[in-house]
Amino acid sequence: MTLHPILAALRKHKAGVVLISLQIALTLAIVCNAVFIIGQRVERVNRPTGLDENDLFLVSQQWVGAPSSDDPAGVEKLDVMQKEDLAALRNLPDVASVTPSNSVPLLNSSWTGSVSIKPGQQLGDKSGTRTAYYFTDEQVLATLGLHLVAGRAFTAADVQHQGARDQRDRPVIIVTQALADKLFPQGSAVGKVIYSDGSSSPSTIIGVVARLQIPSTGSWGNDFAWYSTLVPTRLDSSYARYVVRAKPGRRDAAMHAVPAALYAVNPMRVLDDDESVKSFADIRASAYRADVGMAILMGVVCLILLCVTAAGIVGLTSFWVGQRHRQIGVRRALGARKIDILHYFQIENLLIAGVGVVLGVLLAVGLNMWLMTHYEMTRIPLLYVATGVLAMLAIGQAAVFVPARRASNVPPVEATRAA
Amino acid sequence: MFAYYLELALRSLKRSPGLTALMVLTIAFGVAASMTTYSVFRAVSGDPIPWKSAKLFVPQIDNWGPNGRGSDGEPPNAMDYNDAITLMRDHRAKLQSAMYQISPSIVPADASKHPINVSGHAVYSEFFPMLDVPFLYGSGWSADDDTQRAAVVVISSKLNQKLFGGSNSVGKTVNVEGKDYRVVGVLNDWNPQPRFFDVVNSGGFSTGVEDVFLPFQRAITVGIPNDGNTNCNAVPTESGFVGLQHSACVWIAYMAELDDAAAATAYKQYLDGYAHDLQQSGHFGWAPNNRLRDLPAWLDNQHVVPSDTKVSLLVALGLLLACLVNTAGLLLAKFLRRSSEIGVRRALGAPRMAIYAQFLTEAGIIGLAGGVLGLLLTGVGVVSVGWVLPKDIAALARVDFSLLTLTLLVAVIATTLAGLYPTFRASRVQPAWQLKSN
């Protein structure tokens, strides 16, 4: 079959053809970018924190009328209170291990600083490497479920304590593999010395863990998302957080037992029902709620758009089929087979959709570039655009099939009937 | 005549029910998607204090110098203690307040109840009149209370309900962080979104309510620590909360009321003069690099409207546009199919305007039907975003009369616009040619 009769027929419906190609172009542009956004969000939500997240939960609590952490005597009292809490939690039947920590990944409450292989670097200097600190104790690896890939874990002898706003030397630390590779590109980091927050006293790296995300999920933390530093120090203030690993499958029971156990130690404290004892699954859900929500929203928009475009193609093609009943009858009477009529409409759609997707690719790239300049967006990979093009052509063919088949069923006798 | 066109339009629409349903559904979905995302956008981009936002200013002082600036040369978005206290002491604006976020515990008088945690701010007395904070009982505290570091507190109506069963609690005492405070005022429902007086710490929107306000200097004296962000360009040389007050770390929000442009200019000059003096005395090794933005500019600068919300709205508007193109195509096919009918009407003397009126009525009816269906879908959409979007934002999106009106208007106007070209084509039908061909 030659294209000539199809083109000639299309020329008679110029406006309709332009409108449907425009619609396909718009659909392709929006769907490509929306699916790209979905892909980015799904990738973000699925990145592992490095923790073994099952059976893990966090206790955040605050003592009322606690001693001030600004004077040394107060710090000592607070540390005793914290150790009592830790002992009470570790004694619970459903608890496997407990560690104090100022934060956990995805909590969006962080203490960040910068580490350098040279002493005395100012924080403002861009030469240091940004990191987030986890102030914790010797049970941290077991509780969080981190994998030590080199060196050794903290021992009880490594653990110090300090007031939450004090500055103390950090003689030993554990860093993530990512941070170790950044600071010491050649060779092992274990045993090497670094300086944190412009300090001139050294910190020795005694161990390296495979992976540990920083607490922040905000875009400001993207540059150092995997650069975490573990410090074996309990922070003492009127506020304390405990990370608890329950025995397998016993998380809910352990969470339930926590308030009573802590109130038994000291009733003068704030333990909110909802906020104070939170499973890691809940922390994850609230950290990524915006991303999941955006992905769902984009998904719904794509679905509506594709349905509207497909329905539009069906509607318009049905109309054209109705309009050309007589011509189809004439063609059939002159010897065209059913399959020829079917192919006619299929090729016609392919031509229209082809013009649409060419325009759509330009629009998609343009929209992506506009989003890149105005919002945090990266360049759309060609794979997304190519998949979008194929999908649009396929949807066009699928949508045109029903009316085209109806056209192919027009009997040759139509030719003899009046319009 | 309109009644006649209405009848013609309904008859025509009934003739091809499938096509009509398709157009109505297309419009409904397009309008509902854009109205749902618009309701979220409207909720987060609104002016929290429209009658006064142009008079409220947020000063920024560059106390870190070139090394601490962002890539855009912006100074820190909060103040250190020293600058905030100096600005308060100089008192150059009509009303002003330094403030920081606190999260103290409250011990209920009833010993059988556990202590609770509340959030709030330590502020100066001028905070309340400056922001037109509504009171249910009592009022804010006085300037004397500020200087005396008086143990007074303003509480929310929610906390008043919890502690005093909603009665007038002015003069009663509340135990905050183990010390007794006298209640001087109870707020009427006041939960501005965005939390414009301290967007740096609230991130703009907040699900909670501000439950307590304490005098700033009182909170400093008794050592109620800052519960918001603390940003440092260098490690404080002294430890503890007192060390933080002596450091260049920024953690204090500041707002000033300046009633006209002259006052704003004078205030900016004062800020630059202050920074210049610090440069002269050697505290700042750089020229003044201050900012003084009014509230709308400040909210914009701090990106209070999440970019996700803007992108969603944009994508949904794209969807609406695609739906309109779709409708235009279908209307075109539908109208041109009736060329012979148009030819007869024209031959019988109907002017082009009559053809316009007839077909635009038809498009308008489709728009109206799509709008009504769109209203329902928008309702469903607004409820559904409550399940998927972050709670602080989703809670703000709601269906109200203006959203409903807008939905209908957008549907009708957009569909009529989509019908313009098809109608133009229909009105160009040559009567003679149509009559001949039949």
Looking at residue B137, what is its pLDDT? 95
pLDDT, residue B204, reads 72
Closest CA to B213 of B235, B249, B183: B183
Domain range summary for chain B, segments of one domain joined by +: 2-47+306-437, 62-257
Mean pLDDT, range A195-210, rounded to an integer: 90
Bridge pairing between strands A239-246 and A95-100 = antiparallel
DSSP state of B292: E
**Chain A environment of B68 (Cβ under 8 Å):** 124
The helix or strand, by DSSP H or E, that contains position B32, with its residue range, turns out to be helix B17-45
The pair of structure tokens assigned to B135 is 């009171």
Q: Residue B188's CB: how many other CB atoms inside 10 A? A: 11
- Strands, E, within A106-202: which ranges? 112-116, 129-135, 148-151, 160-163, 172-176, 193-196
Angstrom distance (rounded) from CA A337 to CA A410: 11
Question: What is residue B67's predicted lDDT score, i.e. its pLDDT?
Answer: 78
- Assigned token pair, A247: 């025995």
At A327, the pLDDT band (50, 70, 90 cuts) reads: confident
Q: Is the pLDDT of residue A126 over 70?
A: no
**Res A171 pLDDT > 80:** yes
In this predicted structure, the answer to whether residue A196 has a pLDDT above a threshold of 80 is yes
Contacts 24+ apart (CB under 8 A), B414-417: B414/B27, B414/B30, B414/B31, B414/B320, B414/B324, B414/B367, B415/B27, B415/B324, B415/B327, B415/B363, B415/B364, B415/B366, B415/B367, B415/B370, B416/B360, B416/B363, B416/B364, B416/B367, B417/B324
Confidence grade of residue A90 (pLDDT, cut at 50, 70, 90)? very high
Q: For position B434, what pLDDT does the model report?
A: 67
**Mutation site for B-interface testing, chosen from A304, A309, A326, A352 by largest number of B Cβ within 10 Å:** A304
Q: What is the pLDDT of residues A235-287, one digit of tens each?
A: 998 889 999 999 999 999 999 999 999 999 998 888 876 788 999 999 999 89
Distance from CA of A149 to the nearest CA of B (A): 31
> Would you state the pLDDT for residue A233?
95
Residues 6+ apart with CB under 8 A from B335: B359, B422, B423, B425, B426
Residue B115 vs residues A62, A88, B109, B168, B222: alpha-carbon distances, Å: 10, 20, 10, 22, 19
Q: Is the pLDDT of residue A356 over 70?
A: yes
Nearest CA in chain A to B106: A64
B329 with A312: Cβ contact below 8 A? yes
pLDDT for residue B69: 79
Interchain proximity B115–A20, CB inside 8 Å: no
Q: Which chain A residues are closer than 8 Å to B44 by Cβ?
A: none
Taking CB atoms and an 8 Å cutoff, what residues of chain A touch B232? 123
- Given this model, what pLDDT does residue B305 score? 85
Asked if residue A124 has pLDDT above 70, the reply is no
DSSP state of B231: B
**What's the pLDDT tens digit per position in B206-264?**
777 889 999 999 999 998 988 888 888 878 888 888 889 999 899 999 999 999 999 99
Give the nearest partner residue to A197 out of B33, B235, B329, using CB atoms: B235
Determine the residue of chain B that is closest to A321 in CA distance: B333
Q: Which residues, including other chains, have CB under 8 Å from residue A34's CB and lie 6 or more apart?
A: A298, A299, A301, A302, B315
pLDDT of residue B267: 95
Percent of chain A with pLDDT over 90: 62
Nearest CA in chain A to B321: A26
Q: Are B328 and A167 a contacting pair at CB < 8 A?
A: no
Predicted local distance difference test score (pLDDT) of residue B187: 94
Identify the pLDDT of residue B437: 57
In the structure encoding, which two tokens stand for residue B47, read together?
Answer: 């002016």
Query: Low-confidence residues of chain B, pLDDT below 70?
Result: 434-438
User: DSSP letter at A246?
Assistant: E
Mean pLDDT to the nearest integer, A301-324: 88
Is residue B194 reached through a cis peptide bond, with omega within 30 degrees of 0 on the bond before it? yes
Q: What is the pTM of this model?
A: 0.86
Name the pLDDT band for A114 (thresholds 50, 70, 90): confident
Reported as a single tens digit per residue, the pLDDT across A11-26 is: 777 888 888 899 999 9
Look at B318 and A68 and tell me if their CB atoms are within 8 Å.
no
* Predicted pLDDT at B280: 92
Handedness of CA A396, A398, A399, A400 (dihedral sign): positive
CA distances from A17 to A20, A22, B394, B414, B419 (A): 5, 8, 41, 21, 16
Percent of chain B with pLDDT over 90: 51
pLDDT at A1: 57
The first and second tokens of residue B127, run together, are 């905070």
Q: Are strands A277-279 and B56-60 parallel, antiparallel or unpaired?
A: unpaired
Residues of chain A contacting residue B107, judged by C-beta atoms under 8 Å apart: 64-65, 268
Show the beta-strand stretches assigned E in A329-395: none
> What's the whole-number mean pLDDT along residues A198-225?
89
d(CA B339, CA A188): 82
* B306 to A311: CB separation less than 8 angstroms, yes or no: no
pLDDT higher than threshold 70 for residue A385: yes
> Are the beta carbons of B178 and A64 separated by less than 8 Å?
yes
